[in-house]
Structure 1
Amino acid sequence: MAQESALVSGIAGRYATALFDLARDSGQLDAVAKDLAALSALMADSTDLVRLIRSPVFSREEQGAAIGAVLARIGAADLTRNFVGVVAQNRRLFALADMIKAYGKLLSHHRGEVVAEVVSAEPLNEAELAQLKSALSSAAAGNVVLQARVEPDLIGGLVVQLGSRMIDASIRAKLNSLKSVMKGVA
């Protein structure tokens, strides 16, 4: 446990570690992960939900009732609903997104997985993702889980973050580098 809690820190890390320990002890690691992924997706899609979670204007009762209704609607497990209820009662919903990320880190570490975040200018197809996963797995000497997202500002290429290592092979980075070299010449 001490090793796992060293992976995450701060308020989000403490809450995520507590949830992880409860989920592990009750055999609900995957169910909680599924609930948190669904909640995270809802937060990504709903600015109103994010406003509710982050705004200090709403009372803890209002936040708790609203987030409880959201969790009931997605069919979240009792452990997840109770956890988020405690978070709301303690006025810590503003850190919920970070708690979800920290839980994911703890779960990946527990499973022996290494998470690689891949950012591309356009969506990668299945063959490209499989090839990238294979290359990263051999470099990381372990099972790699890809989290891909699209960022059109890259123009082209990829940005890959594997643990503490980051490889920026985007056209945006190359253009910025060329721009700084050109400033030095002028």
Structure 2
Amino acid sequence: MSQSIAAKRYALALFELAQKNGQTGPIQEDLLELKKVFQTNKELSQLLDSPRLKAAKKKELLAELFKGANQLILNTLYVMLDKKRLDEVVNLVDEFTAYSNDAAGVAEAKVYSTVPLTADESQAISSAFAQKVGKKVLRIENIIDPSLLGGIRLQIGNIIYDSSLSAKLERLKRDLIGS
């Protein structure tokens, strides 16, 4: 999550409008695509930051590039353009996702394992750990890490649950050396 106060304010305003209009899900999907565009096309950011291009032309460009996007998103982009805050788009998406997840009782989690998790394993991990962090469900991203040797390492925000074989061996080593 970002530390940008501006991004949090824009995200909260957009989230409240999305909730009011019952469009939280579709807007979040559009925002994730928007984030990909801004992260992969640095030239777009440079073009939109250019003082040579008038604001009206920039708005036309945004309208053309994101013509399939929700109007609330386009309006948010226009406001951010007017306030010279388009550099906060990626942070806005992250903040919106955090507000949306919080409202839905969802937490983002990274599960590090030596092999890909099956759907059943992911569901079991989600069920077991969601309650521990006060959420209904975990949205799991599985990351393959052969250095674990076995077991899993789960990260939910700042909380890490480590039941990997490498961590257990390290704890055993410290206990043997310490005694």
Q: TM-score, normalised by structure 2?
A: 0.71
Alignment-derived partner of residue 5 in structure 2: 10
What pairs up with 1:70-81 in 2 under 5 angstroms?
Answer: 70-72=65-67, 75-81=68-74
What pairs up with 1:99-114 in 2 under 5 angstroms?
Answer: 99-111=92-104, 113-114=105-106
**Cα gap change, 1:10/1:108 in structure 2, threshold over 3 Å: closer, same or farther?**
same
Task: Find the structure with the greater CA-based Rg.
Answer: 2
Task: Tell me the C-alpha RMSD between the 2 structures.
Answer: 3.5
Tell me the distance in 1 between the aligned counterparts of 2:163 and 2:58. Answer: 42
C-alpha contact 1:118 1:160 (8 A) present in aligned 2: yes
1:19: how far off?
A: 0.8
**Cα gap change, 1:124/1:110 in structure 2, threshold over 3 Å: closer, same or farther?**
same
Q: What is the DSSP-based 3-state SS (H/G/I as helix, E as strand, rest coil) of the residue aligned with 1:127?
A: helix
Identity in percent: 23
The answer to whether the aligner puts 1:52 opposite 2:47 as a matched pair is no
Tell me the distance in 2 between the aligned counterparts of 1:109 and 1:89. Answer: 29
Alignment-derived partner of residue 28 in structure 2: 33
C-alpha contact 2:11 2:95 (8 A) present in aligned 1: yes
Q: 1:93 aligns with which of 83, 86, 97?
A: 86
Alignment-derived partner of residue 139 in structure 1: 132
Q: What is the DSSP-based 3-state SS (H/G/I as helix, E as strand, rest coil) of the residue aligned with 1:161?
A: strand
Tell me the distance in 2 between the aligned counterparts of 1:70 and 1:147. Answer: 31
| Unaligned residue ranges in structure 2 (runs of 5+) | none
Tell me the distance in 2 between the aligned counterparts of 1:107 and 1:144. Answer: 13
1:35-66 CA-partner distances (Å, limit 9, x unpaired): 1122234445x2xx244236775347365444
Tell me the distance in 2 between the aligned counterparts of 1:168 and 1:56. Answer: 44
Tell me the distance in 1 between the aligned counterparts of 2:109 and 2:155. Answer: 5
1:105: how far off?
A: 1.3
Q: TM-score, normalised by structure 1?
A: 0.69
**Cα gap change, 1:83/1:136 in structure 2, threshold over 3 Å: closer, same or farther?**
same
Q: What is the DSSP-based 3-state SS (H/G/I as helix, E as strand, rest coil) of the residue aligned with 2:44?
A: helix
1:144: how far off?
A: 1.6
